[in-house]
Structure 1
Amino acid sequence: MKLNKLVIALTIAGLSACSSTQPVQTPSTTLLETVSAQGDQLVIPYKKYQLANGLTLVVHEDHSDPLVHVDVTYHVGSAREELGKSGFAHFFEHMMFQGSENVADDEHFKIVTEAGGTMNGTTNSDRTNYFETVPVNQLETMLWLEADRMGFLLDAVTQEKFEIQRETVKNERGQRIDNQPYGRLGERVAQALYPEGHPYSWPVIGWMDDLNRVNVNDLKAFFLRWYGPNNATLTVGGDVKAEEVLALVEKYFGSIPAGPEVEPMAKPKVSLDNTRYISMEDNVHLPLVYIAYPTVHLFHEDEAPLDVLMQIIGSGNNSLLYQNLVKSQLAVQAAASHGCSELACQFTLYALPHPAAGKNLADMEAVIRNSLAEFEQRGVTDDDLAKIKAEMLSDAIFGLQSVHGKVAQLANYETLLGNPNYINEQVERYKRVSKEDVMRVYNSYIKGKPSVVMSVVPKGQTQLVAAPDNFTLPKPLEMGPSTTTADDLHVRVAKDDFDRSIRPTPGANPAVAVPEYWQENWANGIEVLGTHNDETPTTSLLLKIRGGNYQQSLDKAGVAGILAAMLTESTQSRSSEQMTRELEKLGSSIRVSAKDEALYVFVNSLSENLPATLALAEEYLFEPAFKQDDFARIQKQRIEGVKNAQKDAGYLASKATRQLMYGNSIAGLPDGGTEQTLASISLDDVKAFYNTWFKPAGGEMILVSSLDKAEVFSAMPKLKAWQGQAPQSAPSIGQAQFEPGVIYLVNKDEAAQSAIRVTKPALPIDITGEFYRTGLMNFPLGGAFNSRINMNLREDKGYTYGAWTGFWGDQYTGTFSASADVRADATQAALAEFYKEISQYAEKGISDEELSFMRLAINQKDALKYETPRAKLGFLAQILEFDLKPSFVKERSAIVDGISQAEINALAAKHLKLDEMLTVVVGDAKALKPELEKLGRKVVEFKL
């Protein structure tokens, strides 16, 4: 398990120990366990039940917010698939949203959205989960929805839906894998690392040849084998009572028949007889070498020490790979990870050589292997162990901040271990790691052991590979068309004593209070807004200082981003590595980033560590060393990042759109600058930007803390004493440089997908005015999953993985944008559908049903707006930036309730004039130009 992505949830009934009851038997359900908070250990309190049909129910009561999170996790992922039938688990994730016996096509999205909720589904190698977070009055409806697709799905799985979702999966693969630099690396490594036929030897999304040859009955058979209640865990958390949840679960899930028995999968040790070298050419800017070692499996006793080893070798700027490759400027990037799944783990290391260093991938491999040897001499320090323990505790406590996080963790532990109460052990096993453990696992799994070495090189540059290929990847199994028929299916039928076609009627929407906050204006011009939040013992702080991308000169675009990066490098007293080490030992984070209008400083800390964390933050901000070597490294990384981004269709579309929309102005350039502007920046330019713009007057600070403001303020003396004022000048935004009606075509050779952007200038942001109303108008057009455009291009036509429209704005400018990444062969047809949908909506406007849907969806979201400290930060930042009163929330609700169909239609006619819009398409220009010309528009090849 990779520590930097580990989400740990616990409940804060005092950071407590647990007690457990004995099982209790009822006629249909067994109460297996009650875990409650006692003492000083970490625990998420819950009750665990098992229904007669084998369904496991876990209920966590959390009364801090009027929300409920429902998660159904099936213990089936790509590892349960058969050779020649890959991708089924992920395919079914899509099919489960396409309606069931009592839920109409695509209605699942509509019901959850109009309830004010969020939802999704995910698939990995080991499990598939579906989840919703909604106001608590919607609990019964969510259980009705999930039960219907568990027990009553198959009759709704038609050949037509099957074909559309097959195209959607292909589009997802195109967008996330085939059209992404290095996108196919992972599946190639898996083919070489695992024996042929191993459950992890094929990708989760599957081989497209497998999906092309199977039929709808194969998919139904897969569902019948794996999606029974006895292979599922239903986890419910939030403002609920366990007994009431149980009654509803027994009603809706109790009659669903169990599926075939499910046995645990074997976890055979993966080993290699020798190091396997493989390579591929790709449409990339920089070559990459990637080394993978097989290790253990998830929750194995050696997983934790391997994670510690991974951090020492290649995580953060104190790691060996960073020091030997990145800081020395031999590589643009280099890192290690230890990814663990239920059956196996991979210890991986990678590097992208810096062009200026003149090194090939063989050189990179040599430095990586020398770094491993260096570890043997270096060993493990006390700081190595201290920082991982601090990180685990910090991650654990921050995991408390959403009911989603807690429920997800309970569900994952129950699914993979059969024990939801693993959170304390998860933290403790990292605390138990010793120096000797780390050295032992290094010797056992890494030192001198064979590995897979993957080289990815730009097309035509095979001379850069680490070594000639000595291993041939096995070809996916070739099979003929499927012959599975409906007669081969063994359908299970549920029998009920109530009518499932009747959708539950939710009670009144729960009242949600706007967070109470305090405000203070400091003498130096910083406005401070804060709120007390004691659900977790944490503090989150956001400091906004005027001096972002808009304040850059055209020829120095990118200087704000370089400054942001340098403000977390070396200080006048300590090196970057020393600063990072101190932060890691606190379990805290400090991030600085450049946005259009400001520099953002974001601080996260356990409240008990806040004084030490803020002392480090003040050292970063007020005592930067501005070392030439730090600057040179960052500058080169940024330039190479821009070059690499030129291979990404989305980046090219954004760059072209900005250039055409805003011309020769700062708004017309990419946020991070261009190769030319970045190369022109000197260290003196960075210092000058800092000295000119990094001033407190006009700054804003937002706090969400378990501490009172006096305690927080006492920990930031330098911030309060800071003085100065930056220049007062508005940026030059520029004017549109495009010809409406023209299609601007940007070339990306052999692109598997095309990026489409249809956009136009629009209003600057406001909170309760016309800009806000345009957002309401846009909602049914492209602002929700089941909007007109997404349903057309994704669900009806299968052209894309997702299509959206929206209005964006800041205080200076705004835009309307419609966007999608579509199948290359569907580019012309997809663009025609964009034009049609935008024109029809502008002409005919919103329907009565859409207006009702929008009102419900927008006004019932309040419960989700203030749940976490991060959400509260965003809400308070909005109040501070626009000088709002808390009543603005009610004003917005009144606008949603009162906006008329006529007003929305007038806004659509005003703001969606197609003949005023810019069209940008990024794809293979040679193939696309003649197709796009069939739309009867002028097509101009646009050079970036």
Structure 2
Amino acid sequence: MTKTIALASVALLALTAPLAAQTAKNAAGTTTAATLPQGAPVAALVRDIDIPYQQFTLKNGLRVVVHTDRKAPVVAVSVWYHIGSKDEPKGRTGFAHLFEHLMFGGSENSDQSWFQPMQAIGATGLNGTTYFDRTNYFETVPRGALDTALFLESDRMGHLLGAVTQSKLDIQRGVVQNEKRGNDNQPGGLVNYKVLETLFPDGHPYQHSTIGSMADLDTASLADVKGWFRQHYGPNNAVLVLAGDIDVAAARPLVEKYFGDIPMGPKNEPTLAAVPTLKQRIDLTFKDQVANTTVTRTWAIPGMLDKDAPALDVAASIIGGLDSSRLETSLVRGSKMAVSVSAGAQSFERVGRFVVSAVVTPGQDPKAVGAAIDAAVADFIRTGPTEAELRRAKTSDIAQTIRGLEEVGGFGGKAVALATGAVYADDPGFAKKQLAAEAALTPAQVKAAAAKWLSRPVLAYTLEPGERGAYQEAASVTAGNQAASAPMKAAPGAEGPAPVARGAIPTPTMTADLQFPTIEHAKLANGIEVAFARRAAVPVVNVAIDFDAGNAADPKSKLGTQALMLKLLKQGTDRYNSEQIAQAEENLGANISASATMDRTKVELSALTPNLAASLDLMAGIVRDAAFRPADIERVRGQQLASIAAETKQPVPLALRVLPPILYGAKSPYGVPFTGTGNPAAVASVTQGDIKAFQNDWLRPDKAKIFVVGDTALKTLMPLLEKSFGDWRASGTAPTKDFSGTLPESKGRIVVIDRPNTPQSLIFAGVLTPEKGTDDLVPLDQANDVLGGSFLSRLNMDLRETKHWSYGVQGLLFTVQHTVPYMIYAPVQADQTGPSIAALRGQIASFIGDKGVTPAELTRTISGSINELPGRFESGSAVLSAMESNDVYGRPDDYYTKLPGRLRALTTSELDAAAKSAIDPAKITWVVIGDSAKIKPQLDTLGLPVEVLPAAAVMGGK
């Protein structure tokens, strides 16, 4: 297999990778900075990153970029239009985003939801997004379905308007407004509007948000949106990227066939915008239902094409973006005035934003934290970065880029890199040039850029707990009664083509069944099992060491012990303190994380192949030799308590705290908040002894398995694993989790968690099924795909596309090893909370009753599930996750290879039987997070008992 990103010149460095180290220790018993592991040189990493491409342009101006990657039989299709919210005229905010939604609603020769044919062909990574400067649509499809995808993309580019109706406009207007409500409903969700208004002057193209205002969305007319399309969506304003199992010789005739007849549109001139400077420092204070105060500093900076953009990006990393950053070191680890810090440089086409934030530790003075941020920025301007800081920032950024380029499509794959360069820089290879510019940066250059842009007046603002201000709601808008507005005028000759019959949508050719990687097995000297799969598309190796523990093992008397222990693993070992661990990780371009599901606890490593040995050495110390120093325990304890408090202010985490204990009861290992953070009283009382005891009991070699996927070989890997973990021995008898208890009887009811003054309710419902994760869940999973598991599911289509009360609804099997719950997620507008539950109950009862899976639904879901498999496992991390799931649920290595045959054999009656056996609609518990005063009268009409609790009542997960 040919690597799409080759690191041939640095592969030899793997032989010397254990630069990790001499183990000289200082008086405190920790290694000095000089002995920290060092990775491959930055310049070498960048030099060999490559995304080769060819390009051509059609007569109508459509620019086409082609990248060949044969690792999987899939092609990423990415269409970028050079039009975004910055180009919207006054009074038309939100138009670009609204039209993104309309373009999923069907075109003249495929007048159906875009997802209808896309699901059937097995498209993965399917979506569309809008931002200040562009609108894009993307999907990864099997090679045999490329004609289908190109037909559909070209039909909505050149043959759309005949299918855009007033009804579709009203539906998508409602969907977008519910998307806006959902974003605004988050703690601090209204702050960004005011920040943009303040940072950018009146009339500046970046002053309004991409999603726009409720009022402008209310007044959008059919004539307006059609004029918007004619003006901006011609082929000469677009870039098409094809990346994957395709070459330019095959691509050119296909693109000519499907796009060549689309006439050129008006020439688009993206709006110009200067970088504004505030006349003086501005201080603002916002209030909202937040648990902790956040202090922020932000400046307008130049856009992505400016020569200072790479320097500002690494400056942000060094100031507050990296785990070894100055603010992390001073405010979080040092003075402990902040729970967390962050910093980043957001680059848009014309301008950008430099943002530094800190979440204030409860009891600390926000003004003092703000002053500390100001002092840190001033010091950086004065002194600039050190060579070591700059090297860590570069390595971390470049390593993350390499990981993202493993995939051809999605939100951040190679197609995105090529399209970004083509659209903004007129150069598909722009991304590599930016990385090269970053690699060449000197401390003096970074210091100069920071001094130039961060010495100007700052917008300083604080978000603190309190009642938020008035919320702008949408008007009640239906077809024909929009408020009057002057229609947008199309440019001369921009009326658009008359509807053209193009024939039927091309039928995909047969998609080859998934060839899941061969899994090799071995054992370490101490008996730890190792499972390995080779994936060589990028020079990255992913390693996970999984323990049979999980949230279900968290002690009931001290819920949150596991989460505290996991957070502490990287805060200090016998060799390194927390800052040194962060520096070592960044030197190596490694990512090490610790996390838990309900059934498993794991520590995971993503390492660059040349740095694998040193990265495994660092990982082993974190897993085996965590120090759990008292000072670190107290600091991390404060962070976890702040996280728990934040969960009670956020709808989804709050629901995940409330529902599982109701479903499983207090005695079940699963009867705990699924967030895993525990309850505050318990976390406050956990001792160092408790933490060490949990680690000794559950993170031990006789409970461990190691899974590896990546650019190496088993014979190369095993000596490294043996060195890191082979001499690890367990003592005593390992504990087990007890699932033998009786579960409480499920009963239909509604539990309201009161969250006053919110524009949206979150419905989060659940019922226990008789199934276990180790059972054959394929029929039930496919049945749920029809009911609630996909965009085209009955639940989503009813509440989103028919009633437009929600941005999106999902029904899901929350797969755990033992009793599996069926859950429903539905954020809905507050004034339709009761009717939404009634609609959901009706749809479920109908599906379980006499309106089960239809033959058409069976064909669609089975075809999609089979065809999507090659795209689903394009990345090594996806393969790793599948290997872990197979182990937890007792599946064979060839489970996914044989899955297509299992799917083809399913019948409608099999799916219906699975759903009827698993889901009892009368026993569903409905948890609703919302404004009780507004929604309880609606809920009282549903014939179910209703209980109202304040959010504070669920702090302990009761």
TM-score (normalizing by structure 2): 0.90
C-alpha separation between the residues in 1 aligned to 2:807 and 2:575? 50
Residues 1:440 and 2:448 are matched in the alignment? yes
Match of residue 93, structure 1, among 97, 100, 104: 100
Shift of 1:888: 2.8
Aligned residue in 2 for 1:776: 782
Residues 1:128 and 2:164 are matched in the alignment? no
C-alpha separation between the residues in 2 aligned to 1:643 and 1:309? 31
Residues 1:79 and 2:72 are matched in the alignment? no
Deviations 1:892-927 (A, max 9, x none): 333322222222222222222211221211211122
Aligned residue in 1 for 2:761: 754
The alignment covers a number of residue pairs equal to: 892
Deviations 1:31-89 (A, max 9, x none): xxxxxxxx965331111111111110111111111001100000011011011110111
Structure 2, unpaired ranges of 5+: 11-45, 473-481
Match of residue 49, structure 1, among 46, 53, 56: 56
Aligned residue in 2 for 1:553: 555
Aligned residue in 2 for 1:659: 661
Deviations 1:143-182 (A, max 9, x none): 0000000011111111111111111111111112x11011
Residues 392, 931 of structure 1: CA spacing in aligned structure 2 closer, same or farther, 3 A cutoff? closer
Deviations 1:466-516 (A, max 9, x none): xxxxxxx9xxxxx962142899996544489x9513111221112432211
Residues 1:193 and 2:199 are matched in the alignment? yes
Shift of 1:427: 1.3
Deviations 1:273-316 (A, max 9, x none): 10112222211122222111122211211111212221221123
Shift of 1:355: 1.5
C-alpha separation between the residues in 2 aligned to 1:504 and 1:192? 51
Q: Secondary structure at the match of 1:271?
A: coil
Aligned residue in 2 for 1:420: 428
Shift of 1:809: 2.5
Aligned residue in 1 for 2:288: 282
Aligned residue in 1 for 2:872: 865
Shift of 1:377: 6.0
Aligned residue in 2 for 1:114: 120
Shift of 1:739: 6.1
Aligned residue in 2 for 1:295: 301
Q: Which moved more, 1:663-672 or 1:866-875?
A: 663-672
CA contact (8 A) 1:170 1:208 kept: yes
CA contact (8 A) 1:668 1:734 kept: no
Match of residue 672, structure 1, among 666, 671, 677: 677
C-alpha separation between the residues in 2 aligned to 1:723 and 1:893? 41
CA contact (8 A) 2:276 2:300 kept: yes
Structure 2 matches for 1:603-682, cutoff 5 A? 603-665=605-667, 666-670=669-673, 671-682=676-687
Aligned residue in 2 for 1:395: 400
C-alpha separation between the residues in 2 aligned to 1:583 and 1:486? 56
* Amino acid in structure 2 at the alignment position of 1:85: R
* Amino acid in structure 1 at the alignment position of 2:836: A
Aligned residue in 2 for 1:225: 231
Aligned residue in 1 for 2:389: 384
Aligned residue in 1 for 2:17: none
Match of residue 335, structure 1, among 342, 352, 363: 342
Aligned residue in 2 for 1:62: 69
Aligned residue in 2 for 1:411: 419
C-alpha separation between the residues in 2 aligned to 1:460 and 1:96? 38
Residues 1:596 and 2:604 are matched in the alignment? no
CA contact (8 A) 1:524 1:724 kept: no
Q: Secondary structure at the match of 1:815?
A: strand
CA contact (8 A) 1:74 1:127 kept: yes
Q: Which moved more, 1:868-877 or 1:664-673?
A: 664-673
C-alpha separation between the residues in 2 aligned to 1:520 and 1:54? 56
* Amino acid in structure 2 at the alignment position of 1:420: P
Q: Secondary structure at the match of 2:178?
A: helix
Q: Secondary structure at the match of 2:512?
A: coil
Residues 1:801 and 2:804 are matched in the alignment? no
Residues 1:482 and 2:490 are matched in the alignment? no
Q: Secondary structure at the match of 2:828?
A: strand
* Amino acid in structure 2 at the alignment position of 1:370: A
Residues 1:142 and 2:155 are matched in the alignment? no
Aligned residue in 2 for 1:306: 312
Structure 2 matches for 1:243-262, cutoff 5 A? 243-262=249-268
Q: Which moved more, 1:86-95 or 1:641-650?
A: 641-650
Residues 391, 651 of structure 1: CA spacing in aligned structure 2 closer, same or farther, 3 A cutoff? closer
Residues 585, 488 of structure 1: CA spacing in aligned structure 2 closer, same or farther, 3 A cutoff? closer
* Amino acid in structure 2 at the alignment position of 1:167: G
Residues 40, 437 of structure 1: CA spacing in aligned structure 2 closer, same or farther, 3 A cutoff? closer
Structure 2 matches for 1:774-853, cutoff 5 A? 774-844=780-850, 845-853=852-860
CA contact (8 A) 1:550 1:596 kept: yes
Q: Secondary structure at the match of 2:109?
A: coil
Q: Secondary structure at the match of 2:813?
A: strand
CA contact (8 A) 1:764 1:810 kept: no
C-alpha separation between the residues in 2 aligned to 1:811 and 1:877? 12
Deviations 1:534-556 (A, max 9, x none): 22222111110223221221121
Match of residue 893, structure 1, among 900, 907, 916: 900
Residues 885, 692 of structure 1: CA spacing in aligned structure 2 closer, same or farther, 3 A cutoff? closer
Residues 493, 892 of structure 1: CA spacing in aligned structure 2 closer, same or farther, 3 A cutoff? same
Q: Which moved more, 1:726-735 or 1:697-706?
A: 726-735
C-alpha separation between the residues in 1 aligned to 2:513 and 2:818? 35
Shift of 1:880: 3.2
Match of residue 521, structure 1, among 520, 523, 529: 523
Residues 1:366 and 2:368 are matched in the alignment? no
CA contact (8 A) 1:800 1:820 kept: yes
Residues 733, 675 of structure 1: CA spacing in aligned structure 2 closer, same or farther, 3 A cutoff? farther
Aligned residue in 2 for 1:25: none
Aligned residue in 2 for 1:325: 331
Residues 720, 13 of structure 1: CA spacing in aligned structure 2 closer, same or farther, 3 A cutoff? closer
Q: Secondary structure at the match of 1:740?
A: coil
Residues 62, 816 of structure 1: CA spacing in aligned structure 2 closer, same or farther, 3 A cutoff? same
C-alpha separation between the residues in 2 aligned to 1:881 and 1:803? 28
Q: Which moved more, 1:879-888 or 1:926-935?
A: 879-888
CA contact (8 A) 1:304 1:429 kept: yes
C-alpha separation between the residues in 2 aligned to 1:251 and 1:377? 59
Match of residue 562, structure 1, among 554, 564, 570: 564
Aligned residue in 2 for 1:502: 504
Q: Which moved more, 1:135-144 or 1:571-580?
A: 571-580
* Amino acid in structure 1 at the alignment position of 2:332: V
Aligned residue in 2 for 1:20: none
C-alpha separation between the residues in 1 aligned to 2:397 and 2:327? 23
Q: Which moved more, 1:507-516 or 1:848-857?
A: 507-516
CA contact (8 A) 2:49 2:402 kept: no
Residues 826, 489 of structure 1: CA spacing in aligned structure 2 closer, same or farther, 3 A cutoff? farther
CA RMSD of aligned residues (A): 2.4
Q: Secondary structure at the match of 2:703?
A: coil
C-alpha separation between the residues in 1 aligned to 2:496 and 2:95? 22
Structure 1, unpaired ranges of 5+: 1-9, 18-38, 463-472, 474-478
C-alpha separation between the residues in 2 aligned to 1:15 and 1:265? 43
CA contact (8 A) 1:217 1:486 kept: no
Shift of 1:787: 0.7
Residues 728, 331 of structure 1: CA spacing in aligned structure 2 closer, same or farther, 3 A cutoff? closer
Shift of 1:533: 2.0
Q: Secondary structure at the match of 1:668?
A: coil
CA contact (8 A) 1:658 1:667 kept: yes
Shift of 1:573: 2.0
C-alpha separation between the residues in 1 aligned to 2:897 and 2:356? 52
Residues 517, 742 of structure 1: CA spacing in aligned structure 2 closer, same or farther, 3 A cutoff? closer
Deviations 1:626-683 (A, max 9, x none): 1111111111111111111111122222222112112213422221101122112112
